[in-house]
């Protein structure tokens, strides 16, 4: 299918940059005023709080199947870091205002990426459903550590859990499903990194490799799972459970800022920058931040210049039915976590009224930001994660971003901005791959 993007460019000039694969800011033209957002949404804060309550119920079980979470009583959470040294480095070469923070989901236990939030949640919810149906659990007040017994494993071993992934979602689902005793099958696209496949096999999941992109791997995985009544498919582009699991992070982030004594309000806004693939975890994060912080939150997604699927899906209204290849862009990027040529249904429908804008980033800069972060703060994260720095670095320089700031009177309070970059993955990257990444110049 060929899409004529030119017809949208007259109204949205930033799309010309997207078409030409030049880094840009793209303001979301469909954003509505804060007080109208929730009229457009099927889900809201109540649903996020319900997901949070589920996770609290699962916590004793999580602590039991993943002993690395025992010290936090089965709550899977990451640190909030202030990046003073990275900020200094940015200020040397760029205009910058406000304060720079990073949410370290790269260190989340079990999966080493943001996918630990939604992925573990959805597998546990599915296990809970089966346990309630079969009587293993008498009610939601029952002892959930029963799901970690030999009897439970025998029960779950009759079922399959499958997922399509470029890597990290597969790790999260595969590890959790296998730990509970499910037969775990992960359908992986050609951009999936070898170390991620090896890790999954070691954890007891089956990896099916495809020599196609994520769209096709996802479709094939879904079809295979749907044909089997005892198989459950975790669907990255359609799952509300995943989405709400990701959104719970906002409740936790709010507490973390409160604990630091940092005020966030309309005049001291938080700008959130999430690297995006299909818009599942990134969209869920943005959704949660808007629901929890209201008009104090400004949410931005970042995609590679070679895979700007979310603006394309939103502009055309075609969401998951359109691919960057339809406008002549190859969808190939070193950022495996962002290599999703078609966006999820959520990123279009749920993000439309609330997304403030998108940045696109050159692959080469992902590695530059990786080096900057490493030399200044000593952290290494996945190249995909580094996309988030494009936000604060370009916000005060990109002409479309400057216009956005002015139009929304944000330029007047720019010194009060809390910039929250989201480190989406990293702690499981093998040391030799980190070293290779630090030496990669594109």
Ligand X SMILES: *Cc1c(COP(=O)(O)O)cnc(C)c1O
Residues at the site binding ligand X, with contacts judged by CB under 6 A: 113-115, 168, 275-282, 337-338, 340, 382, 384-385, 424-425
Comparison of 221 and 337: residue with beta carbon closer to ligand X:
337
Least distance in angstroms from the C-beta of 421 to ligand X: 12
Least distance in angstroms from the C-beta of 276 to ligand X: 4
Comparison of 69 and 113: residue with beta carbon closer to ligand X:
113
Where helices occur in 30-144 by DSSP H, the ranges are: 34-37, 45-65, 84-93, 115-134
Least distance in angstroms from the C-beta of 14 to ligand X: 20
Comparison of 131 and 278: residue with beta carbon closer to ligand X:
278
For ligand X, which residue has the nearest CB?
Answer: 277
Q: Which helix (H) or strand (E) holds 67?
A: none
Comparison of 131 and 386: residue with beta carbon closer to ligand X:
386
Least distance in angstroms from the C-beta of 106 to ligand X: 8
Comparison of 100 and 192: residue with beta carbon closer to ligand X:
192
The rounded distance, in Å, linking the Cα atoms of 111 and 94 is 34
The rounded distance, in Å, linking the Cα atoms of 364 and 442 is 5
Comparison of 69 and 424: residue with beta carbon closer to ligand X:
424
Q: Is 203 helix (H, G, I), strand (E, B) or coil?
A: coil
Residues 6 or more apart in contact with residue 72 via CB below 8 angstroms = none
The rounded distance, in Å, linking the Cα atoms of 208 and 57 is 33
Least distance in angstroms from the C-beta of 120 to ligand X: 14
Where helices occur in 135-226 by DSSP H, the ranges are: 150-156, 168-180, 194-202, 214-226
Comparison of 64 and 117: residue with beta carbon closer to ligand X:
117
166, with CB counted inside 10 A (0-12, 13-18, 19+), is: buried
Least distance in angstroms from the C-beta of 317 to ligand X: 19
Least distance in angstroms from the C-beta of 21 to ligand X: 19
Strand-strand pairing, 270-275 and 418-422: parallel
Cβ density class 61-87: b for 16+ within 10 Å, e for less? bbbbbbeebeeeebebbbebbebeebb
- Count CB-CB contacts under 10 A for residue 263: 11
């Amino acid at each position: 299918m060929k899409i004529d993007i030119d017809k949208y460019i007259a109204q949205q000039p930033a799309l010309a940059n997207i078409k030409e694969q030049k880094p840009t800011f793209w303001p979301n033209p469909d954003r509505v005023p804060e007080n109208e957002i929730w009229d457009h949404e099927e889900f809201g804060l109540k649903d996020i709080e319900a997901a949070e309550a589920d996770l609290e119920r699962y916590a004793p079980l999580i602590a039991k199947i993943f002993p690395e979470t025992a010290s936090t009583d089965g709550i899977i959470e990451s640190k909030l870091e202030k990046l003073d040294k990275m900020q200094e480095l940015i200020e040397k070469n760029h205009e910058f205002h406000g304060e720079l923070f990073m949410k370290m989901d790269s260190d989340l236990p079990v999966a080493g990426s943001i996918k630990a939030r939604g992925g573990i949640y959805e597998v546990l919810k599915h296990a809970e459903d089966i346990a309630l149906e079969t009587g293993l659990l008498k009610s939601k007040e029952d002892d959930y550590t029963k799901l970690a017994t030999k009897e439970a494993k025998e029960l779950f071993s009759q079922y399959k859990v499958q997922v399509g992934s470029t890597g990290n979602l597969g790790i999260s689902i595969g590890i959790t499903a296998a730990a509970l005793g499910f037969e775990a099958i992960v359908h992986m696209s050609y951009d999936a990194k070898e170390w991620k496949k090896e890790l999954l096999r070691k954890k007891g999941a089956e990896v099916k490799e495809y020599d196609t992109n994520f769209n096709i791997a996802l479709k094939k995985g879904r079809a295979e799972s749907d044909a089997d009544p005892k198989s459950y498919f975790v669907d990255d582009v359609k799952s509300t459970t995943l989405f709400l699991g990701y959104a719970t992070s906002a409740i936790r982030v709010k507490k973390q800022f409160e604990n630091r004594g940092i005020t966030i309000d309309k005049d001291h806004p938080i700008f959130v920058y999430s690297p995006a693939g299909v818009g599942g975890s990134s969209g869920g994060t943005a959704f949660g931040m808007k629901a929890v912080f209201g008009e104090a939150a400004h949410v931005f997604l970042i995609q590679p210049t070679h895979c700007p699927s979310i603006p394309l899906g939103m502009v055309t209204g075609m969401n998951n039915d359109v691919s960057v290849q339809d406008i002549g862009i190859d969808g190939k990027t070193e950022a495996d976590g962002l290599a999703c040529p078609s966006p999820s249904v959520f990123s279009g429908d749920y993000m439309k009224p609330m997304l403030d804008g998108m940045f696109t980033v050159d692959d080469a800069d992902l590695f530059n930001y990786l080096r900057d972060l490493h030399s200044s703060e000593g952290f290494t994260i996945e190249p995909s994660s580094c996309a988030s720095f494009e936000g604060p670095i370009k916000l005060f320089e990109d002409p479309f971003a400057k216009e956005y700031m002015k139009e929304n009177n944000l330029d007047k309070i720019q010194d009060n901005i809390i910039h929250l970059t989201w480190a989406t993955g990293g702690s499981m990257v093998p040391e030799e791959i980190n070293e290779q990444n630090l030496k990669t110049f594109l």
